[in-house]
Homo-oligomer: A and B are copies of this chain.
Amino acid sequence: MSVKHIILGILSWKPSSGYEIKTEVEYKGRELGWGKVSFGSIYPKLKELELEGLVNCKEVSQTERQTKMYDLTNKGWAELSDWLRSNPTYPVVRDELLMKMSFWNYVPNLSIDCLIAHLNNRKINSEKMLEHLRDWECNDVSSIGNLAAYSFEYLKLQLETEIKWINQTIEKLLLNEQQPHKDPMNLVQESHKRYQKTVE
């Protein structure tokens, strides 16, 4: 899981320039569960891969703009294949919204409206992504392997679940309903006391 394998994977789709790889990641990355990749990591990595003999490079310059087109070598296909067969690592998410919710109770003087605003914001973004996903499925230029289509389905399900959860959660917060929670050591109260003492 790294820029290296993203590059090799995209080159398996078709020979591409560094610039094209970037736009490909930009465009499909969100949908397919990749992160982002910057030029600053693509170009040096391509050179490295060339040195390793995993890709080769042809300069195209005739009528067209000068461009370096990369393609997989024998060794590159093998490396990609090996990686695909190796067991994927379990994803570790660092979700800032969830983190904030974990701490929200313990800090006094925080408005619940502010948290609701965060949730709404998240919802708007997720709805945008969902829409983007559906648009993409409707367009008739993009290719998508049938297995990639399954990962599409995954993303859609997760986004739908998330939106549902946000709606429910906001509703509960507005009703000021208390989720059954437990605090055997009275940490929330303790925190507020400590806060008072410190700020006093």
Contact = CB atoms under 8 A, between A and B. Distances in A.
A184 B142 CA distance: 7
Contacts of A48: none
A143 B185 contact: yes
A181 B43 CA distance: 32
A174 interface: no
Interface in A158-185: 158, 161-162, 164-165, 169, 172, 178-185
B145 A102 contact: yes
Given A13-B106, A115-B147, A95 B101 contact: no
Contacts of A77: 107, 195, 198-199
A191 interface: yes
Nearest to A91: B95
Contacts of A191: 12-14
Contacts of A194: 15, 71-72
Contact of A103 (B9, B153, B181, B183): B9
B94 A34 contact: yes
B80 A89 contact: no
A188 interface: yes
19 contacts: A12-B106, A32-B102, A33-B94, A34-B94, A34-B102, A71-B198, A84-B104, A90-B122, A101-B150, A103-B145, A105-B148, A140-B182, A143-B182, A144-B182, A145-B188, A146-B181, A157-B164, A158-B158, A158-B161
Interface of A: 1, 5-6, 9, 12-15, 28, 32-36, 71-74, 77, 80-81, 83-85, 87-107, 109-110, 114-115, 117-118, 121-122, 125, 140-151, 153-155, 157-158, 161-162, 164-165, 169, 172, 178-185, 187-188, 190-191, 194-195, 198-199
